[in-house]
Each structure stands twice: as C-alpha cells, then as structure tokens.
Amino acid sequence: MIRILIVEDEKPILDLIKLSLLGEGYHCTCAGDGQEAADLIESQTFDLVLLDIMLPGIDGYELLEYVKLCHIPVIFITAKTSTADRVKGLKAGAEDYISKPFEIAELLARVETVLRRFGKEGNGIAFGDIRIDVSARTVIKGETPVSLTAKEFDLLLYFYQNKNKALYRAQIYAGVWGGDFPGDSRTVDLHVQRLRKKLSLEERLVSVYKVGYRLEV
C-alpha cells in the first residue's frame, strides 16, 4: 500500500487532505511541523510527501533538503501563489507545486501522476475506515487487520467494485463463486452476514427488498 506523509500545520486542511487520500486507498501519516515530519521520515518509509512551506520551526524548504536525501518525491502544497514562489519550489527539487486553495480532484490527480512517475502506483482501495490492499489480499479496519477467508475477501472486493448498485443474489454468486445460482442456496446470505459482523458493515452493506444487497459508499 502506498504510504504518504502529509506535513501541514493547519488542521482543517490536513484533515481534508487525509480524508481524501484515505478514500482513494492510500495510507496516510500526518505531521504538524517540520521537526515532527523529519522524525517520522527517519523512522518510517514513505512513497510521497505532501509538504506545506510555511511551517513552525523547520520550514518546507529546509525539510525538502532532508527529504531529497531519502529519495522521496515531494509535492509542495502552499499558500505561496506567485510565479516566483512556484519556480523556487520546483527548482528546489519538488516534483510538483499546488497552491491553496485547491480542488481535491486536482490534488488526487497530481498525487497519482507523481507516484506513476516514480513507479509507485497504488494497489489499494478504501471506504470509511476500511482499507483493502488488493495485491496483498489484506483488509484493515481502523488500524486493526481483519482476517477474511478467500471468498469473504472476494465478496468484499466484488461489492466495492459494484458499490452503490443493487445486486441480485444471482449476480453476486456468479461474480464471486461462478456458475448458476442455486435458488435455495444460503451461501451469499451467510457470507454477507459474516462480512457485516467482521467489518461492522450493518449500515453500509444493506439488504434490498426482493433483490439482494447493496454496498453504500
């Protein structure tokens, strides 16, 4: 899973960025100042740093010099909007430069572009507090790994791939188990019940009368 460090001293902006990235399946760690960020970079591994320039203590330019030594790409996110500031940031070694205020869609697109440039495209998805690593076939709820059987994982992934759609039991069975749905089978229902229990999905994985189920994301 792609790990991103967000360094931002304005908590509302930090929370917005974090929530948006979590929704795309990225793993996020946050720091409110340059020193905290430096300590995290020294002790953990990151694929990308989103970095404010105007930080208490160590500012973004100083921290960038340290991050470059670790060969981690950096995107500046800052209220400094002049062309001179943008040029300075890019010449200092940032891979990209985003001015505040920004659109979340643009931020996500730029993050994806930089990760792709460095061969670090993600393979994870997330909704709510649930993160799914498709390649590793692991699921984390909050900070706790959740053990799923192979079919439970396949079922969760199928629901996510068809999120917000009402799915007939026959569709679900064909998509996960393959073949024709035996009309009297409780296979789908029992697996849905286990997913609801293991991941507390009672309010998201809802029953659709005379149809089947829908994952609400």
Percent of the chain at pLDDT > 70 equals: 98
Residues 92 and 185 placed together within one structural domain of the fold: no
pLDDT value at residue 121:
61
Domain with residue 91: its CATH number is: 3.40.50.2300
Helices (H), 50-129: 60-69, 83-92, 104-117
Structural domain including 167 reads 149-215
User: Is a pLDDT exceeding 70 seen at residue 195?
Assistant: yes
**Domain total in the chain:** 2
Q: Which of 22-26, 98-102, 114-118 has the lowest mean pLDDT?
A: 22-26
Q: What is the pLDDT of residue 123?
A: 59
* Maximum average pLDDT range among 39-48, 80-89, 157-166, 199-208: 199-208
pLDDT at 122: 59
Is 52:77 a contact under the CB 8 Å cutoff?
Answer: yes
Looking at the structure, tell me whether residues 100 and 168 fall in a common domain. no
Residues sharing a CB contact under 8 Å with residue 8, sequence separation 6 or more, in sequence order: 14, 17, 30, 31, 32, 50, 52, 77
What is the predicted pLDDT for the residue at 124?
65
Q: Which residue has the tokens 């929530």?
A: 19
Judge if 100 and 156 occupy the same domain: no
Would 38 be classed as within a structural domain?
yes
C-beta of residue 214 within 8 angstroms of C-beta of residue 173: no
Residues 167 and 101 in one domain: no
Q: What's the pLDDT tens digit per position in 41-74? A: 988 889 999 999 999 888 899 999 989 888 899 9
Mean pLDDT of the chain: 90
200 and 115 inside one domain? no
Q: What is the pLDDT of residues 126-170, one digit of tens each?
A: 788 898 887 788 999 988 999 999 999 999 989 988 889 999 999
At residue 174, the 3 state secondary structure works out as: helix
Instruction: Judge whether 144 lies within some domain.
Output: no
Q: Is the same domain home to 23 and 112?
A: yes
pLDDT of residue 75: 96
Task: Confirm if 138 and 145 have CB atoms less than 8 A apart.
Answer: yes
The answer to whether 160 touches 132, Cβ cutoff 8 Å, is yes
Same domain, 114 and 153: no
How far is residue 17's CA from residue 20's CA, in Å, rounded to a whole number?
Answer: 5
